[in-house]
Chain A
Amino acid sequence: MKRKGGFFSRSFVRIPLIIWSLAVLYPIVWMILGAFKSNAEIYSNPWGMPESFNFGNFVDAWTNYNIDISVFNSLIVTGLGALLTLAMAIPTSYALERMRFRGNRLLFTLYISAMMIPMVLGWIPLFFLLMQLNLLDNIFGLAIVYAVSQLPFSIFVMTSFMATIPKSLEEAASIDGMSPYGILWKIITPLSTTGIITVTIMNMIQFWNEYFMALIFLQSEENYTLALAIDYISNETQYTNAWGTLFASLVIAIVPVIILYAIFQRRIVKGMTEGAIKG
């Protein structure tokens, strides 16, 4: 009696696997190929290979549609947002994980349950708060909002990571006369590098991709992040039919994510599945 792993049942199972792989890969590959096609070619041959690879669409997106400015804005928001998140999450995670104080559990639960609360309700007051703080339509304001929005997730991952660091190191350092600030900065932070990298990659992907908060909190074109700029080009495309330019800008948006995924595939997968298993 042939059981699982038998040649026929395995071939049978492969069919849906291959179909789904094609369903995932084909649109992505096709988008990348489309970025190298002229508009005429997109209409005559939308789903095939391009006749020749020309970079005209990229040049057009970069210069005529201000993608250069949006890439710059997205980089600032992503980098600054990720740094701010760390600056806020590392000390708090350490205190929550290692120090006993009244309200420790309560504070932890408060941060974690914020992951389940729909933030849409908060976006209306946040809009006016940012306006009062002169941070509306401002990429630095957006970076702050992003950083705080990823705080619960980051604290969740960081505390579980710090729990794996042996306590004896801190105790030894403390006996040697190191201050708690020194312990946090010189012992805990370096030992948490793996966790910090995981959290940072997840946050950077999140910030780089984010669309809706940017849509609400940014208004003028020179402040657009990449996601907004692409949405803008996409809406224009209905009239200009500049599909090639649109695809080129999509490729610009997705290439950094592909690179990060290629390098940090395991960490990203681990970060996301752990982030989801919080319920």
Chain B
Amino acid sequence: MVQSKKQRNLFLAFCLVPTFLMFSVFTLYPLFNGLYYSFFEWSGASSLAEFVGFDNYKRLLNDEIIPLTILHDYFLVVTKVIGIMILATFFAVALTQMKIKEAPFYRIVFFFPNIMSVVVIGILWMFIYNPSLGLVNSGLEFIGLESWTRPWLGSEDWALPSLVLPSVWAGIGLFMLMLMGGISNISKSYYEAAEIDGATEWQQFWKVTLPLIWPQIKISILYIIITTLNGSFIIVQVMTKGGPNNSTHVMGSYLYEQAFVKYNFGYGATIGVMILILSLITVLIMQFFMRREKVEY
């Protein structure tokens, strides 16, 4: 290329600097500033921020709701990982291995909730759980299980488990497609060889399919963990706002309540730091546990 070094650097700056400036101002600076705020007692008025050292962190450790929010977040992580992975794996195997003619139809339908707004999903499911009109209670009455009907989202015991179903419902398509991508890359000859050796379909699934799509399974699980820890509060905010009686508060919704409803911005930032640390630790631990030699036959 015939250009002077100066021109080249000018072009490089043109490409990189404006974007990086925007990224720094609207992403990097807020993150670091959040860390900084966590050492202040602050109700929003700019002159009244008071440095309090680790007081917010002490408060965090003594706040009775914090352990609940952590527990609720990990409850959602575990139930979503199990629910989504089992169903997504089953559907992915069924749609790739079973030669079902209408497979594209299922693929298109199952994926659609992935691009619906969480607001729409949340409101739809609020109505499905509605105590008097909702599909769940009407269905239970219809099959003669009146005693099982309850105000799902209004019950302290059932509200949190009730949030799992909409999340699984909305998430399954994406992970099914990721796994299908993995399965379609497996060479047919492995299955033919397994068949000659007399392996049943079940054995083929455990010994051939599962080990060979392990990379996709691993990515899916990590992705569910990250998106749940970083985003479970959205559906909580739409469907229950953390209630009844804090029984569905997750870390993010509690941060929102502390910062933007009660104006404890410093304490809110401290909760944010906790979310950041916990999600990083969780991802690192999971990566360690799911480390597994890449299988090649």
* Residues of chain A having any CB pair with chain B under 8 Å: 3-5, 9-10, 13-14, 16-17, 20-21, 23-25, 27-28, 31, 42-43, 46-47, 88-89, 91-92, 94-95, 99, 101, 107, 111, 114, 116-129, 144-145, 147-149, 151, 171, 174-175, 179-181, 184, 205, 208-212, 215-216, 227, 230-231, 234, 243, 246, 250, 253-254, 257-258, 261, 265, 268-269, 272-273, 276-277, 279
Residue of A nearest to B21 (CB): A88
Q: How far is the CA of A120 from the CA of B253 in the complex (A)?
A: 10
Q: How far is the CA of A70 from the CA of B93 in the complex (A)?
A: 42
Q: Is the CB of A230 within 8 A of B14?
A: no
List B residues 107-166 near A (Cβ within 8 Å): 108-120, 123-128, 133, 135, 138
Q: Is the CB of B94 within 8 A of A230?
A: no
List B residues 10-31 near A (Cβ within 8 Å): 11-12, 14-16, 18-20, 22-23, 25-27, 29-31
Q: Is the CB of A148 within 8 A of B23?
A: yes
Residues of A within 8 A of B109 (CB): 21, 24-25
- Tell me whether B65 is interfacial, beta carbon within 8 Å: no
Given A25-B109, A121-B269, A122-B34, CB of A273 within 8 Å of CB of B169? no
B117, B172, B237: the one within 8 Å of A208 (CB):
B117
Residues of B within 8 A of A125 (CB): 29-31, 33-34, 37, 269
Q: Is the CB of A276 within 8 A of B119?
A: no
Given A129-B30, A180-B3, A180-B11, CB of A279 within 8 Å of CB of B120? no
Q: Is the CB of B223 within 8 A of A279?
A: yes
- Tell me whether B210 is interfacial, beta carbon within 8 Å: no
Q: Is the CB of B116 within 8 A of A209?
A: yes
Residues of B within 8 A of A27 (CB): 124-125, 128, 135
- Tell me whether B226 is interfacial, beta carbon within 8 Å: yes
With A121-B31, A144-B26, A227-B119 known, 5 other A-B pairs at CB within 8 A are A13-B100, A21-B105, A118-B272, A212-B234, A269-B177
Given A46-B133, A91-B14, A273-B181, CB of A4 within 8 Å of CB of B100? no
Q: Is the CB of B119 within 8 A of A209?
A: yes
The count of A-to-B residue pairs whose CB atoms sit within 8 angstroms is 244
Residues of B within 8 A of A231 (CB): 119, 123, 238
Q: Is the CB of A24 within 8 A of B169?
A: yes
Q: How far is the CA of A212 from the CA of B204 in the complex (A)?
A: 44
Could you jot down 5 A-B contacts, CB within 8 Å?
A10-B98, A47-B138, A119-B31, A124-B272, A148-B26
Given A92-B20, A120-B272, A209-B116, CB of A24 within 8 Å of CB of B177? no
- Tell me whether B87 is interfacial, beta carbon within 8 Å: yes
Q: How far is the CA of A118 from the CA of B201 in the complex (A)?
A: 41
User: Interface on chain B toward A: helix, strand, loop, or mixed SS?
Assistant: helix
- Tell me whether B273 is interfacial, beta carbon within 8 Å: yes
A31, A92, A272: the one within 8 Å of B19 (CB):
A92
- Tell me whether B233 is interfacial, beta carbon within 8 Å: yes
Q: How far is the CA of A148 from the CA of B7 in the complex (A)?
A: 28
- Tell me whether B195 is interfacial, beta carbon within 8 Å: yes
B22, B120, B123, B279: the one within 8 Å of A88 (CB):
B22
Q: Is the CB of A234 within 8 A of B30?
A: no
Q: Is the CB of A120 within 8 A of B181?
A: no
Given A5-B99, A253-B120, CB of A23 within 8 Å of CB of B169? yes
Given A31-B124, A125-B37, CB of A20 within 8 Å of CB of B91? yes
Residues of A within 8 A of B37 (CB): 124-125
Q: How far is the CA of A144 from the CA of B21 in the complex (A)?
A: 13
Chain B contributes a number of interface residues (CB within 8 A of A) equal to 95
List B residues 208-226 near A (Cβ within 8 Å): 216, 218-220, 222-223, 226
Q: Is the CB of B27 within 8 A of A124?
A: no
Q: Is the CB of A277 within 8 A of B269?
A: no
B30, B128, B174, B201: the one within 8 Å of A126 (CB):
B30
A188 to chain B, nearest CB (A): 11
Q: Is the CB of B110 within 8 A of A174?
A: no
* Residues of chain B having any CB pair with chain A under 8 Å: 1-3, 7-8, 11-12, 14-16, 18-20, 22-23, 25-27, 29-31, 33-35, 37, 44, 46, 87, 90-91, 94-95, 97-100, 105-106, 108-120, 123-128, 133, 135, 138, 169, 172, 174, 177-178, 181, 195, 201, 216, 218-220, 222-223, 226, 229-230, 233-234, 237-238, 252, 255-256, 259-260, 265, 268-269, 272-273, 275-276, 279, 283
Residues of A within 8 A of B11 (CB): 180-181
Residues of B within 8 A of A25 (CB): 109
Q: Which of A92, A95, A118, A246 gathers most chain B CB within 10 Å?
A: A118
Given A124-B269, A257-B116, A277-B219, CB of A9 within 8 Å of CB of B98? yes
User: Interface on chain A toward B: helix, strand, loop, or mixed SS?
Assistant: helix
Residues of B within 8 A of A101 (CB): 12
Q: Is the CB of B19 within 8 A of A257?
A: no
Q: How far is the CA of A205 from the CA of B126 in the complex (A)?
A: 23
Given A111-B23, A118-B276, A145-B26, CB of A230 within 8 Å of CB of B119? yes
Given A91-B19, A107-B16, A151-B19, CB of A118 within 8 Å of CB of B126? no
Residues of A within 8 A of B15 (CB): 91-92, 94-95, 99, 184
A24, A31, A42: the one within 8 Å of B112 (CB):
A24
